[in-house]
């Protein structure tokens, strides 16, 4: 008898704690680190609860940046171009574009007529 490889679903094997991919875990940790700075500032002002909320908020933002993809929203032309791409990749491209101080020129196809008499 021969041996046969059985196909199996390996989609979720790269995940940690079922919801975190490696990338989203790193972004969540970075977001929580930023929130920790705010926590320490608020703790000095005796507002520890507000600081804890800041940690959770920044960690959630980090998770969203690391995990979510840009949706295709029909009424927004800019989302049609990047639909389905990871949000962090889009943010990285925007930052690189702004650092180079690039400009986008749009040609609308209309020609102006001048009346030269």
- Predicted confidence (pLDDT) per residue in 54-103, tens digit: 999 999 999 999 888 877 777 777 667 777 788 888 888 888 888 887 77
Confirm if 84 and 72 have CB atoms less than 8 A apart.
yes
Section 21-31 average pLDDT: 90
pTM above 0.75, yes or no: no
Reported confidence tier of residue 110, pLDDT bands at 50, 70, 90: low
Q: What is the 3-state secondary structure (H, E, C) of 83-103?
A: CCCEHHHHHHHHHHHHHCCCC
Q: Rounded CA gap, 12 and 8, in Å?
A: 11
Q: Which residue has the higher pLDDT, 115 or 52?
A: 52
- Burial (0-12, 13-18, 19+ Cβ within 10 Å), 61: middle
Q: Which residue has the higher pLDDT, 95 or 8?
A: 95
Radius of gyration of the CA atoms of the chain, in A: 24
Q: What average pLDDT does the structure give for the chain? A: 80
């Amino acid at each position: 008898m021969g041996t046969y490889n059985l196909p199996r679903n390996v989609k979720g094997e790269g995940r940690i704690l079922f919801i975190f991919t490696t990338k989203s875990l790193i972004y969540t940790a970075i977001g929580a680190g930023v929130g920790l700075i705010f926590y320490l500032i608020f703790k000095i002002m005796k507002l520890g609860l507000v600081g804890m909320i800041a940690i959770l908020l920044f960690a959630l933002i980090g998770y969203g940046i690391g995990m979510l993809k840009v949706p295709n929203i029909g009424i927004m032309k800019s989302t049609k171009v990047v639909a389905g791409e990871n949000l962090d990749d889009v943010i990285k491209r925007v930052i690189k574009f702004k650092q180079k101080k690039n400009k986008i020129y749009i040609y609308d196809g209309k020609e102006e007529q001048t009346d030269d008499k």
